[in-house]
């Protein structure tokens, strides 16, 4: 019997998760398939209950559903503390997990960038920002969260302060904070297709010792990362966060070790690289 998995989001057409997971299933000879489904916030509960009723193995959640899911599924302790869910497993009810933070951590550390002791500026206060802020604060980074709505940044920083060092500010603090940061993480959708010209910062705002990690992966080289290279700073593309968070979800659903390189190659091929 073919087990179905999927990703819910709105919009969802840009997602490369199906490419990645289907490549992993083929590589391992598993009778499973992974599809993308456009699901709005108001329909999320019905969509999750429907997936469970139809025997889905599990689903991923992306924008704008990660926080909405908290009131619907049973969150594990990490997802509960983060306040966002990106993975739902149906083996024993509906259990929600968050694998975004570990995905970001592995993507940065594989580039030999140390998180512990670093000053990290995270732009955005949505589900991915929450996961990364909690993960990096736990790992010993000093976190600043900047957001267009300053109160959201302040509220999130207060929550993150329960596990580490964190402060918040409005979007107008970005230039000053970049000057004093070791790592800049874009957790907004600025620069994502179909609006690739958006950016949270330009080369003039950066310094050569800065590492810039853009979690947007479509396009792979966002305008932010082009500006990073102009500044002589280190640019980290977003596809490996996608791969590593997906790999952790794969383990949760199947109990099987996923083929990381196969998943990475599928994402790159999906991006036309």
Rounded CA separation 159/111 (Å)? 28
Global pTM reads: 0.88
Per-position DSSP letters for 176-234, written without gaps between them: HHHHT-SEEEE-S-TT-TT-TT--S--GGG--TT-EEEE---SSSS-HHHHHHHHTT-E
In the 8-state DSSP scheme, what is residue 11? S
Burial of 10 (0-12, 13-18, 19+ CB in 10 A): middle
Domain 101-237 superfamily per CATH: NAD(P)-binding Rossmann-like Domain (3.40.50.720)
Q: Could you read off the pLDDT of 32-43 as tens digits, one per residue?
A: 999 999 999 999
What whole-number percentage of the chain has pLDDT above 90? 91
Structure confidence at residue 115 as a pLDDT band (50, 70, 90): very high
- With respect to CATH, is domain 3-98+240-270 assigned 3.40.50.10860? yes
Q: Could you read off the pLDDT of 129-166 as tens digits, one per residue?
A: 999 999 999 999 999 999 999 999 999 999 999 999 99
Rounded CA separation 229/159 (Å)? 33
What whole-number percentage of the chain has pLDDT above 70? 100
Q: List the catalytic residue out of 45, 52, 66, 91.
A: 66
Q: What is the pLDDT of residue 193?
A: 85
Q: What is the pLDDT of residue 273?
A: 84
- Is 66 tagged catalytic? yes
Q: What is the pLDDT of residue 215?
A: 95
Q: What is the pLDDT of residue 69?
A: 96
List, edge to edge, every strand of the sheet that includes 87-89: 32-38, 3-9, 58-61, 87-89, 95-97, 74-75
Number of helices and strands in the chain (H, E) = 10, 12
Rounded CA separation 129/26 (Å)? 32
- The yes-or-no verdict on residue 29 having pLDDT over 90 is yes
Let me know if the fold of 3-98+240-270 is the same as that of 101-237. Answer: yes
Q: Helix, strand or coil for residue 249?
A: helix
Mean pLDDT of the chain: 96
Q: Could you read off the pLDDT of 161-216 as tens digits, one per residue?
A: 999 999 999 999 999 999 999 999 999 999 998 889 999 999 999 999 999 999 99
- The yes-or-no verdict on residue 251 having pLDDT over 90 is yes
| Structure-token pair, residue 5 | 């998995």
Question: Does residue 194 have a cis bond before it (omega within 30 degrees)?
Answer: yes
Q: What is the pLDDT of residue 257?
A: 97
- The yes-or-no verdict on residue 1 having pLDDT over 80 is no
> Per-domain residue ranges for the chain?
3-98+240-270, 101-237
Give the other-Cβ count within 10 Å of 120's Cβ.
25
For 59, list phi and psi in degrees, rounded to 5: -140, 155
Per-position DSSP letters for 74-89, written without gaps between them: EE-HHHHHHT---EEE
Q: Could you read off the pLDDT of 47-72 as tens digits, one per residue?
A: 999 999 999 999 999 989 998 999 99
Q: Which of 35, 130, 30, 32 is nearest to 79 (CA)?
A: 130
Residues 8 and 37 sit within 8 Å (Cβ to Cβ): yes
Which residues in the chain belong to E strands, given as ranges?
Answer: 3-9, 32-38, 58-61, 74-75, 87-89, 95-97, 119-123, 142-147, 165-170, 183-186, 211-214, 234-236
Q: Could you read off the pLDDT of 64-98 as tens digits, one per residue?
A: 999 899 999 999 998 998 988 999 999 999 999 99
Structure confidence at residue 240 as a pLDDT band (50, 70, 90): very high
Q: Could you read off the pLDDT of 119-131 as tens digits, one per residue?
A: 999 999 988 899 9
Q: Which residue is listed with tokens 């009810």? A: 93
């Amino acid at each position: 019997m073919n087990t179905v998995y999927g990703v819910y989001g709105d919009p969802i057409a840009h997602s490369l998760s199906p490419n990645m997971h289907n490549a992993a299933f083929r590589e391992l000879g598993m009778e499973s398939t992974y599809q993308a489904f456009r699901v709005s916030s108001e329909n999320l509960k019905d969509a999750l209950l429907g997936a469970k009723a139809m025997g889905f193995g599990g689903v991923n959640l992306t924008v704008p559903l990660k926080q909405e899911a908290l009131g619907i599924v049973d969150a594990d302790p990490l997802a509960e503390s983060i306040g966002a869910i990106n993975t739902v497993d149906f083996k024993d009810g509906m259990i929600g997990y968050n694998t975004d933070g570990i995905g970001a951590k592995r993507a940065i550390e594989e580039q030999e960038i140390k998180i512990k002791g670093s000053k990290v500026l995270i732009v955005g206060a949505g589900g991915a920002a929450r996961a990364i802020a909690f993960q990096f604060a736990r790992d010993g980074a000093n976190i600043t969260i900047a957001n267009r709505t300053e109160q959201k940044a302040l509220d999130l920083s207060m929550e993150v302060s329960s596990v580490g060092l964190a402060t918040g500010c409005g979007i107008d603090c970005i230039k000053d904070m970049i000057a004093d940061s070791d790592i800049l993480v874009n957790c907004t959708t600025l620069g994502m297709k179909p609006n690739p010209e958006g950016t949270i910062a330009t080369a003039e705002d950066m310094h050569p010792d800065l590492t810039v990690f853009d979690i947007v992966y479509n396009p792979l080289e966002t305008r932010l990362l082009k500006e990073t290279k102009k500044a002589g700073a280190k640019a980290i593309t977003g596809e490996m966060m996608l791969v590593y968070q997906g790999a952790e979800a794969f383990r949760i659903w199947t109990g099987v070790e996923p083929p990381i390189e196969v998943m990475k190659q599928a994402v790159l091929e999906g991006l036309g690289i």
